[in-house]
Amino acid sequence: MPGLEDLYREIILDHYKNPRNRGTLEVPPAHRSDGVNPLCGDEIAVYVQVEGDTVTDVKIGGQGCSISQSSASMMSAAVKGKSIKDARLVIKAFKAMMSIHEPGHDPDAPPPDIKLGDLEALKGVVKFPVRIKCATLAWNTFAQGLDQFVK
């Protein structure tokens, strides 16, 4: 089907059908944050466990479309074991790939030098603007969770 392969790459479908890090963590010590996409009803729960300066565990709950679920799965794999600082850089790089930039962003500045790996598969979402909110739901929810550990 032309066009759809841009959106639904093989690796996305793999993460959708075999999501990584599904489940819950004990709260506390972990923190749970909830995200909802009011347009489509997708709901996500992101559990974050931080020890010292390191994101030691991430678990994902909730339900949603292939894009939101696979993005959450890939995100959990990408940020687990990273320092809070590096996890934030991954968030920033992913959102930049989704054409979402922080206030004051210089459009001519080079993209952050972060290897997104499998997450690059979600690049095609940008061609389907309605779906960007699906792809970023887990990330925004995770970012809220991180904020709880650095107050």
Partner 1 sequence: MASVAMTLDANCIKRDFPALERIVNGHLITYLDSAASSQKPWAVLRAMDNYYETTHANVHRGVYTTAVEATERYEGARVIFARFVNANSKREVIFTKNVTESLNLVAQSWGNANVGPGDAILYTEMEHHANLVPWQMLAARTGAVLRYVPVTDDGHLDLSNLDTLLDGAKVFTFTAASNVLGTINPVRQLADAAHRAGAIAVCDAAQLAPHMTMDLQAMGVDFAGITGHKMCGPTGVGVLWGRESLLDAIPPFLGGGDMITDVHIDGFTPNELPWKFEAGTPPIAEVIGLGAACDYLSGLVLDDVRAHEIDLTGYAMDVLEARFGDRLKIHGPRDPNARMGVLSLALEGVHPHDISQVLDQQGVCVRAGHHCAKPLMRRLGVGATARASFYVYNERHDVDTLAEALSSASDFFK
Q: Contact positions toward partner 1, by CB under 8 A?
A: 1-4, 7-8, 13, 16, 39-43, 63-67, 69, 128, 131, 134
- Smallest distance from partner 1 to CB 138, Å: 15
Task: Decide whether 49 or 73 has the Cβ nearer to partner 1.
Answer: 73
- Smallest distance from partner 1 to CB 59, Å: 19
Between the CA of residue 87 and those of 130, 135, 139, what are the distances in Å?
Answer: 26, 17, 10
Task: Decide whether 8 or 47 has the Cβ nearer to partner 1.
Answer: 8
Task: Decide whether 10 or 106 has the Cβ nearer to partner 1.
Answer: 10
Following CA atoms 34, 88, 80, 55 in sequence, which dihedral angle do they give, to the nearest 10 degrees?
-80
As a three-state string, the secondary structure of 5-31 is: HHHCCHHHHHHHHCCCCECCCCCCCCE
Task: Decide whether 37 or 83 has the Cβ nearer to partner 1.
Answer: 37
Consecutive H or E run containing 43: strand 43-51
Task: Decide whether 4 or 150 has the Cβ nearer to partner 1.
Answer: 4
- Smallest distance from partner 1 to CB 31, Å: 23
Please give the backbone phi and psi of residue 107, each rounded to the nearest 5 degrees, phi first.
Answer: -60, -20
What angle separates helix 84-97 from helix 66-79, to the nearest 10 degrees?
A: 150
Q: Which residues contact 135 (CB under 8 A, 6 or more apart)?
A: 67, 68, 71, 98, 122, 125
- Smallest distance from partner 1 to CB 3, Å: 6
- Smallest distance from partner 1 to CB 13, Å: 7
